Amino acid sequence: MDLVDKAKNFVAEKVANMPKPEASVTDVDLKGISRECITYQAKVSVKNPYSVPIPICEISYVLKSATRVIASGNIPDPGSLKGDETTLLEVPVKVPHSVLLSLARDIGRDWDIDYELDLGLIIDLPVIGNFTIPLSQKGEIKLPTFSDLFGGGGKSKDDETAAAEC
């Protein structure tokens, strides 16, 4: 093995053993309702093992119910992870009303749906470059009731603000 191969192996081994940020989804809940969509919010806790902030390049998400994709999207440049701390990220997931209506067969008596949320946090690690932290969460989320949709009850938010987000 020549010197260049030895150097490549050494660097690859060091990079593989470097501490990397760790993340987990802590909650997924109804955030708001607008005329166009329903917004759920995923809360993601990310621990940065480094003393310096790490930029987050992008967050991608895919929300599925009964193996069908009901929402997907990207959030470009959502900020940075604080150095030597745990950062709580809020990821808005927008689901059009038409998609929720098509899920009627999956709705239980308690007005919820089973979901699977796949997230990818793309961060810019020094030396390594872009690194994706994959996350997956399964559970149940509540659908808004008819009174939430038409009566303005529940966790509804200002219509102009919510409409601008969809």
Domains identified in the chain and CATH numbers = 14-138 (2.60.40.1820)
Q: What is the pLDDT of residue 165?
A: 53
- pLDDT, tens digit (0-9, with 9 covering 90-100), for 80-102: 999 999 999 999 999 887 787 77
* pTM for the model: 0.75
Please check whether residue 21 is in contact with residue 49, taking contact to mean a CB–CB distance below 8 angstroms.
Answer: yes
Residue ranges in the chain modelled with pLDDT below 50: 153-164
Gap between the Cα atoms of 4 and 25, Å rounded: 41
Residue length, the chain? 166
> What are the strands, taking DSSP E only, across 35-151?
37-47, 54-65, 68-81, 86-96, 112-125, 129-142
Residue-wise burial string across 88-114, b where 16 or more C-beta atoms lie within 10 A, e elsewhere: ebebbbbbebebbeebeeeeeeeeebe
